[in-house]
Amino acid sequence: MKTNLILLFIVLFSFGSCVSDEESARQVNSAFQGNWTGSFSGDESGTLTFVVQKEGTMVGEIHFNQTNTTEAINGYVNFDGKFDMNTKTNYTFSGYLQSSASNGMWTKNNLKGSYSFQKQ
């Protein structure tokens, strides 16, 4: 009986201590935190400003040159620099942040282009 109880405890503890890949990728003090600015071009063009917060959350604003409008953009950067940012109208910026810059591609449905960000 005592052995069965110990085995049950070990099994339950094993399941309870599992951490998802997403959880393990989150950080407490992101190496990328700070203010970032950049531009994008292609089928649409404009500028972006965003802040990487200490836990890796990305919060900012995107400005579109053609329509002279702005929209919120939000995302998350992992400890290794991999990030994804999206707007409510499906603009997606993804790639890897380096210590002070990033270059990559953006998409929205059939639209696409490139971006360049710099840490301030």
Q: pTM of the prediction?
A: 0.77
Higher pLDDT, residue 87 or 99:
87
Q: 39-63 pLDDT, tens per residue?
A: 999 999 999 999 999 999 999 999 9
Question: What's 71's domain CATH number?
Answer: 2.40.128.120
The verdict on residue 51 lying in a domain is yes
Domain count, the chain: 1
Mean confidence (pLDDT) of the chain: 86
Would 39 be classed as within a structural domain? yes
Q: Is residue 19 part of a domain?
A: no
Tell whether 113 is covered by a domain: yes
Residues 55/43, Cβ–Cβ less than 8 Å: no
pLDDT digits (tens, 9 = 90+) for 101-115: 999 999 999 999 999
Q: Is residue 18 assigned to a domain?
A: no
Q: Which of 81, 69, 68, 76 is nearest to 92 (CA)?
A: 76
| pLDDT of the residue at 111 | 97
Query: Is residue 75 included in any domain, yes or no?
Result: yes
- Asked, for residue 94, whether it belongs to a domain, the answer is yes
DSSP state of 43: S
> pLDDT tier at 20 (50, 70, 90 boundaries)?
very low
Most confident of 3-7, 16-20, 77-81: 77-81
Task: Tell me if 3 is assigned to some domain.
Answer: no
Contacts 24+ apart (CB under 8 A), 69-73: 73/48
Tell me, what's the pLDDT at 17?
A: 47
Q: Domain range for residue 47?
A: 28-119
Reported confidence tier of residue 2, pLDDT bands at 50, 70, 90: low
